[in-house]
């Protein structure tokens, strides 16, 4: 059921659940209704196939989410073997799980500056063969899930870290910056029905990076490149200013394309106290406000980059322990940030 809940319904639901549990608990410990029923757009979570055996993870994900993004098992680091062969076992498992549990699928990521070099190394310098293999890779991967993915992150993180220009990478060295446009052309050929995203991070905290990203987008659109979606990863920290989140989503939304908050986490930088929890909740609310300020047709959705704190890439070695970046705690209980997000979504 995707009925919109009014705020009082959501909170009454929380109180009711507490009462029936016979436990007077703080809101953040209440069993939550269902995020996917509160949101007027798909709410996704990243996943890796090993998590399918985790009963607690599946219970939480099946209850609250209606879209899945493979965290890394549809990336070339897994799909493209050094000998150029393609491996889809893990990606297929995730796609099947999504379909068997009534979830949508978002493909991530066809072309990323940081991966794929080994498999393409034998073609380095041979532009014609490299370009042919580039098309084949994109068409094979996106084509495998044709009609099953709502969208694909076609090119991920093309902008330089500091926003000054664009990343150097093997794709660019062999194809020039045309690698970006060509990726979208091949992705459109492979799966015309999927929304095709240009996906980037730090678009909130680095205005220079957002300007360069939008310059690239405008150039692509001017050239008629089949870019049909904008992904802002939204990896935040509690030191970020909520206003920058709303501003970034509004600026990205000005192009009339679907916008995907594609990888939300809010790092508490190893802290967890009342102040950190409050800041995290304010940022989560700002994300929801930013999306809700978009016209409904542009709300592609929100994807959390992890279900529980312990599922986050930010809490795995080699990173230090102690970060609490997600909206559900290690036991799967909603945190204040989830309640703040849901309250905005519930209107
Ligand atoms: C991360 C995954 O979460 C990790 O498990 C993996 O080891 C590295 O990649 N931007 C992206 C995501 O687009 O694909 C990255 O995900 C996080 C940054």
SS3 category, 210 = helix
- Looking at residue 344, its pLDDT comes to 96
What six digits make up the tokens of 114?
């940081």
The ligand 1 atom nearest the CA atom of 201: 10
Return the ligand 1 atom nearest residue 316 CA. 5
Q: What confidence score (pLDDT) does residue 347 get?
A: 86
Backbone dihedral angles phi then psi of residue 328, each to the nearest 5 degrees: -120, 140
Beta-strand (E) ranges in 164-313?
Answer: 195-200, 229-232, 235-237, 259-267, 299-304
- Whether the CB-CB separation of 48 and 93 falls below 8 Å is answered with no
Q: Please tell me the predicted confidence (pLDDT) of residue 14.
A: 37
pLDDT for the residue numbered 137 = 98
Measured CA angle at 311 (ends 306, 317), to 5 deg:
120
pTM: predicted TM-score of the whole model, two decimal places: 0.93
Judge contact between 295 and 315, C-beta under 8 A: no
**Atom 16 in ligand 1: residue holding the nearest Cα:** 71
Nearest CA to ligand 1 atom 9: 72
Contacts 24+ apart (CB under 8 A), 126-133: 127/174, 127/175, 130/174, 130/175, 131/174, 131/175, 131/182, 133/84
Q: What is the pLDDT of residue 32?
A: 59
Residue from 48, 313, 326 whose mutation best tests the ligand 1 pocket (most atoms within 8 A of CB): 313
Beta bridge mates, 250? none
pLDDT at 2: 44
Do residues 150 and 104 lie in contact, with contact meaning Cβ atoms separated by under 8 Å?
Answer: yes
- Residue 237 · residue 189 · CB < 8 Å: no
Distance CA 8, CA 22 (A): 20
Q: Is the CB of 298 under 6 A from ligand 1?
A: no
Distance 66 CA to ligand 1 centre (A): 20
Question: Is residue 249 classed as helix, strand or coil in its secondary structure?
Answer: helix
Query: Which residue has 């095709």 as its token pair?
Result: 196
With beta carbons less than 8 A apart as the criterion, state whether 175 and 131 touch: yes
The response to whether residue 156 sits with its C-beta less than 6 Å from ligand 1 reads yes
Q: How many angstroms is it from 128 CA to the middle of ligand 1?
A: 30
Select from 111, 115, 231, 83 the least CA-distant residue to 177: 111
Question: Rounded to the nearest whole angstrom, what is the distance from the C-alpha of residue 71 to the centroid of ligand 1?
Answer: 6
**Tens-level pLDDT at each residue, the chain (347 residues):** 344 444 445 544 433 333 333 433 344 434 458 999 999 999 999 999 999 999 999 999 999 999 999 999 999 999 999 989 999 999 999 999 999 999 999 999 999 999 999 999 999 999 999 999 999 999 999 999 999 999 999 999 999 999 999 999 999 999 999 999 999 999 999 999 999 999 999 999 999 999 999 999 999 999 999 999 999 999 999 999 999 999 999 999 999 999 999 999 999 999 999 999 999 999 999 999 999 999 999 999 999 999 999 999 999 999 988 999 999 999 999 999 999 999 999 98
Ligand 1 pocket test target in 50, 203, 305, 315 with most atoms within 8 Å of CB: 305
Q: Which atom of ligand 1 is nearest to the CA of 157?
A: 13
């Amino acid at each position: 059921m995707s009925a919109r809940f009014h705020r009082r319904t959501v909170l009454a639901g929380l109180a009711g659940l507490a009462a029936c549990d016979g436990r007077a608990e703080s809101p953040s410990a209440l069993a939550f209704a269902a995020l996917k029923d509160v949101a007027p757009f798909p709410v996704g979570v990243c996943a890796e196939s090993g998590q399918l055996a985790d009963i607690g993870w599946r219970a939480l994900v099946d209850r609250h989410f209606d879209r899945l993004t493979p965290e890394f098992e549809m990336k070339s680091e897994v799909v493209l073997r050094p000998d150029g062969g393609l491996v889809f076992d893990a990606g297929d498992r995730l796609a099947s799980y999504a379909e068997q549990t009534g979830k949508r699928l978002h493909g991530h990521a066809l072309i990323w500056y940081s991966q794929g070099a080994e498999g393409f190394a034998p073609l380095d310098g041979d532009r014609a063969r490299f370009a042919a293999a580039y098309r084949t890779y994109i068409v094979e991967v996106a084509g495998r899930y044709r009609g099953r993915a709502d969208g694909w992150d076609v090119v991920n993180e093309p902008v330089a870290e500091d926003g000054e220009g664009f990343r150097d990478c093997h794709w660019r060295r062999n194809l020039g910056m045309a690698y970006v446009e060509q990726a979208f052309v091949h992705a459109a050929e492979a799966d015309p029905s999927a929304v095709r995203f240009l996906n980037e991070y730090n678009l909130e905290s680095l205005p220079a990076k957002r300007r360069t990203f939008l310059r690239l987008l405008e150039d692509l659109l001017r050239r008629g490149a089949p870019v049909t979606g904008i992904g802002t990863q939204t990896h935040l920290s509690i030191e970020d200013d909520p206003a920058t989140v709303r501003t970034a989503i509004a600026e990205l939304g000005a192009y009339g394309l679907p916008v995907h908050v594609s990888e939300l986490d809010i790092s508490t930088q190893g802290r967890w106290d009342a102040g950190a929890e409050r800041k995290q909740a304010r940022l989560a609310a700002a994300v929801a406000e930013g999306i809700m300020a978009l016209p409904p047709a542009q709300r592609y959705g929100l994807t959390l980059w992890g279900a529980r704190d312990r599922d986050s890439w930010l809490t795995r070695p080699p990173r230090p322990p102690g970060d609490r970046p997600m909206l559900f705690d290690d036991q799967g209980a909603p945190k204040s940030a989830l309640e703040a997000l849901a309250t905005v979504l519930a209107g």
